């Protein structure tokens, strides 16, 4: 075998952590599970494993650096004119080798008996000797935008999954902007009998042209005429479920707020629905009204609405 430092692509002064990192990267790249039985990759992988068998063990690495063992881990018998093979080697020429790894943890302790398969299980999430273990399928992350009314009242929606499937989803009533829905078992199929993954559906809520949401309550600015403000009367108010009649009391100031009970966002579970708070906004005509001007010119009052500001 070639020099193990060259195989792993590290310098002779490399630290244990650098050697381990290099081995993990190469092992993941050339592992047979990822190469579909590629013989060249399998050969490369065996070479990488053999190199780490030397450099990943403090004692073996020291012996190699001193020239006591060769790149295959066999003792050097220079005085007898040969090295490795036969009863003195680890399998001899052309023999198979069972690689045995020694790992150092963060505390500097040594754990004996760790095999390559254990590392590969970590690298591939169940590879190596656990390659046939049941595994959960991949989760799908999706994002959709729904209307204000759909989020408030609930509605069915159809979404297209990354694998091309169409799925009908029920948007629950009262959903808030940015909330996530988990659809269990609707993701990618599992492997080796494992369960299917989930769908994580993040929902954005489009703004409404005139409603704003405050918890489960809704707020609405309602324009009214000067006559309606002074004399009072019934006005039509939009809600999420249709228009309703609202009584404006006489002498209502702009900014006065009235409540329509239960006309807000639908409650979730045992929650009661929210209310609709209607803020009255006295609004003059877009075009000048000469009759109104004539009336106000004759109207005499000592009322000063700014008296409290003096």
| Whether residue 36 has pLDDT greater than 60 | no
Positive or negative: CA dihedral 54, 59, 64, 69 = negative
pLDDT attached to residue 31 = 66
- Evaluate if residue 249 carries a pLDDT over 90: yes
Per-residue confidence band for 202, with pLDDT thresholds at 50, 70 and 90: very high
Instruction: Considering the chain, tell me which residue range(s) the CATH 2.60.260.20 domain(s) occupy.
Output: 140-205, 211-301+303-307
Q: Angle CA(35)–CA(41)–CA(47) in degrees, nearest 5?
A: 140
Residue 12 CB: number of other CB atoms within 10 A? 10
CB 229 within 8 A of CB 254: yes
> What CATH number was assigned to the domain covering residues 4-130?
1.10.287.110
Question: pLDDT over 90 for what percent of the chain?
Answer: 40
- Count of other CB atoms within 10 angstroms of residue 265: 27
Q: Which of 69-73, 111-115, 202-206, 291-295 has the lowest mean pLDDT?
A: 111-115
Instruction: Report the candidate in 291, 287, 280 with the shortest Cα–Cα distance to residue 247.
Output: 280
Res. 279 pLDDT band, cuts 50 70 90: very high
| Lowest-confidence segment of 195-199, 219-223, 299-303 by average pLDDT | 299-303
Provide CATH 1.10.287.110 ranges for the chain.
4-130
Q: What is the mean pLDDT of residues 1-26?
A: 88
- Band (pLDDT 50/70/90 cuts) for residue 124 is low
Class of domain 211-301+303-307: mainly beta
Q: How does DSSP classify residue 74?
A: P
Where is average pLDDT lowest: 76-85, 89-98, 161-170, 283-292?
Answer: 89-98
Residue 283, pLDDT > 50, answer: yes
Architecture of domain 140-205: Sandwich (2.60)
What is the chain's mean pLDDT, rounded?
Answer: 80
**261: CB partners within 8 A, 6+ apart:** 275
């Amino acid at each position: 075998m070639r020099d193990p430092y060259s195989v792993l692509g590290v310098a002779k002064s490399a630290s244990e952590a650098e050697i381990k990192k290099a081995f993990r990267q190469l092992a993941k790249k050339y592992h047979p599970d990822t190469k579909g039985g590629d013989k060249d990759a399998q050969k490369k992988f065996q070479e990488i494993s053999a190199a780490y068998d030397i450099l990943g063990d403090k004692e073996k690495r020291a012996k190699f650096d001193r020239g006591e063992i060769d790149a295959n881990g066999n003792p050097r018998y220079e005085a007898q004119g040969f090295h490795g093979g036969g009863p003195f080697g680890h399998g001899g020429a052309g023999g198979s080798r069972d690689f045995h790894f020694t790992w150092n943890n963060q505390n500097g302790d040594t754990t004996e008996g760790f095999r390559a398969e254990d590392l590969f299980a970590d690298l591939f999430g169940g590879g190596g000797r656990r390659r046939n273990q049941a595994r959960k399928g991949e989760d799908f992350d999706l994002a959709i935008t729904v209307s204000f009314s759909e989020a408030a009242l609930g509605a069915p929606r159809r979404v297209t999954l990354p694998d091309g499937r169409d799925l009908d989803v029920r948007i629950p009533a009262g959903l808030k902007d940015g909330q996530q829905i988990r659809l269990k078992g609707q993701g990618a199929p599992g492997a080796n009998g494992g369960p299917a993954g989930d769908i994580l559906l993040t929902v954005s809520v489009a703004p409404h042209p005139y409603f704003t949401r405050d918890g489960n309550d809704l707020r609405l600015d309602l324009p009214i005429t000067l006559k309606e403000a002074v004399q009072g009367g019934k006005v039509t108010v939009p809600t999420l479920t249709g228009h309703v009649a609202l009584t404006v009391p006489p002498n209502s100031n702009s900014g006065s707020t009235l409540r329509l009970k239960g006309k807000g966002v639908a409650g979730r579970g045992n929650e009661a629905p929210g209310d609709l708070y209607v803020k009255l906004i006295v609004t003059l005509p877009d075009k000048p009204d000469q009759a109104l001007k004539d009336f106000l010119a004759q109207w005499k009052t000592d009322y000063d609405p700014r008296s409290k500001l003096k």
